[in-house]
Every structure is written in structure tokens, then in C-alpha cells.
Amino acid sequence: MANIYYENSADLSVLSNKTVGIVGYGSQGHAHALSLRDSGIDVIVGLYEGSSSWAKAESEGLKVSTVSELSQASDIIMMLVPDHLQGRIYRESIQPHLDSTKTLMFAHGFNIHYGQIVPPEDVDVSMIAPKAPGHRVREIFSQGAGVPGLLAIHQNPSGNAIQNALAYAKGIGCTRAGVLDTTFKEETETDLFGEQTILCGGVTSLVKAGFETLVEAGYQPESAYFECMHELKLIVDLLYQGGMEYMRYSVSDTAEYGDYSRGPRVVDERVKENMKQVLKEIQDGTFAREWIAENDEGRPRFNAMRQQDTKHPIEQVGQSLRDMMGFLKQV
């Protein structure tokens, strides 16, 4: 069984005399910074000069500095900028100021696991990864609860990496829901696999294939949109709330029978074999090397694929339908 930490496993006071530096003020950055601040922790946000987020962070009562200044002043440095930017920011603004008194933290293991950042051996390196988007982390924290999180330790020369990481997790509310003990390798590889085969790549490819099948068979695009994309949220919410059993309890018997009898014909053993190949490319570094090279080359394929999918008919139909759904603007 996995080791899971809760509130009584974490002591927030271990951070009482420390300064936590949050590098970045995007989705996760603002959630971590504001929640830690509300937990009584001294927080600095690190941004580049001229960042549009600088004034926003200051307006929310946070201290803001350059990343280099943050690295000198902070005891714990949390990297919350996108993966492809972390290596350069680390080399230019963080590495020169690291010493054995500091902790380097991450919310995703990509750059450590694939060797894009190699910290000095005398520096603690840990990870606290909330399992929710930043706005959700902040929303749930503000309600007095928290989202689950992951904890991993890459280096622990001080002997204090675990207690500091758990205190950090408590400061953003994760210990209220539970913090799962893992490794940088496991977090990185399972996170990438989930994104590519289910949560992003798998879902969008399945939705597009279903939409195209119905439209090519002569059905109205609007009907195809409702059946293949719009109603997906209803099913996901049921799965989120109570798993597959609760989802099947909530839908009709006709839908449940179709689930059992037709679902495996769509997602069959060939799909599982493809998933295994995707996992292999994550494990052996093929995907990481491809993504790093893509960014080094200016993202030509990424930008082309993004542009191509914005022109897919389901996006055009969906946009016009969503514009008429006033309730969506309140979500």
C-alpha cells in the first residue's frame, strides 16, 4: 500500500523562520503563493522584469522580485514556470545562488528526471505536486479544504527534506486531503502517460473520432457535438464523484449495457498496445528528447498542430453553441 501523509504528519512551524520563493505566477504559482501567505509563511514571488504578472502579484499583497534576487533571499525555491523554461531560468538565475542551506522544489519532475536540471549534491531537492489545476487548488484551500498531492524526495543531504516538503504541502492545503509518497520517476512518467493517453490526447482524439463518424454518416454537426463533447462533462463529473460504479448507477440501463458491450470494441487490445508504446517512449526518454528539441527549434510542429486543431469542425460548431449557453460564462 502507498504511504499517504495527512495533517498530523506535517508541522507548519518548520517553515516559520524560512522564506519561500515561488518562481512564476501562473496557474500554480498564484495558488501556492497566496495559500502559503495565508498560512503565515513568508513568501516572495520571482518574475522577470516587465512581467505582466508583477503588478498582479503586488496588488494581491505579495512581495515580488527578480528570480535572481529571490534565489538569494529564499530558503526554499519552488519552480512553478512551464517545463520548457525551467532549465534556462535555473542556470541563469538560481544555480549561481544555491548552497547547502537551500531547498529546490518542484511541482512536476520532468526537468530532474530527464536531467535538464542537475542540482548540487549538497542541496535538498523535493517535490510537492497538487493533483489539480492551480485555480482549483486555491479555490478548495480558500474553502478550508485541500486537494490531494504527491511528495517525492530526490536529494536529502540535510535530513530535513521530507519535513520541509510536508510543511509546504500543509501550507497549500494538500495534507487536508492526503499526500501520496512517490518518486520523481514515477510522478513524471505516470503524469505524462495520463496526459497523453487519457486526459488530453486520448480524450480529444476519441471525441474527434466520434464527432467525425456521426457527421460523415449524415447526422447534424450540432447533434454530434452534444453527444460527443458537451455531455462528456456529465460523465466525468460522475466518475470524479464516485468512480465507474456510481457513473453506471446514474446513467440509464441502456447506456450501461452499451458501456459493457461496445466500449471494449472501441478501446480494444490494439489501443492498449499503442498505450504501451507511448509509455515506452516516456520511459526511455524519446518523448522528452522530442519535446526539448521542439522547443529548441521554435516549436514549428507544435504550433502547426495547435493551429490545425483550432480549425476542426467540432471547434467551430462547439464555439457557436457555447456562445448561446449563458450559464457557461458563470462557470
Catalytic site residue from 30, 32, 108, 154: 108
Q: Which residues contact 305 (CB under 8 A, 6 or more apart)?
A: none
Catalytic (active site) residue 108: yes
SS3 18: coil
The closest alpha carbon to 4, from 217, 209, 178, 204, belongs to 178
| CA distance linking residue 54 with residue 63, whole number of Å | 9
Determine contact, residues 118/133, Cβ cutoff 8 Å.
Answer: no
| CA distance linking residue 228 with residue 252, whole number of Å | 17
Determine contact, residues 36/20, Cβ cutoff 8 Å.
Answer: yes
The closest alpha carbon to 76, from 140, 3, 163, 176, belongs to 163
Q: Residue 254 class from Cβ within 10 Å (0-12 exposed, 13-18 middle, 19+ buried)? A: exposed
Alpha helices in 195-299 (DSSP H): 201-216, 221-225, 232-250, 253-266, 269-283, 286-296
Outline where DSSP puts E strands in 67-211.
Answer: 76-79, 103-106, 124-130, 149-155, 179-181
| CA distance linking residue 66 with residue 46, whole number of Å | 5
Helical pair 184-194 and 269-283, crossing angle rounded to 10 deg: 140
84 vs 108, 193, 266, CA distance in Å? 12, 18, 35
State the catalytic residues.
Answer: 108
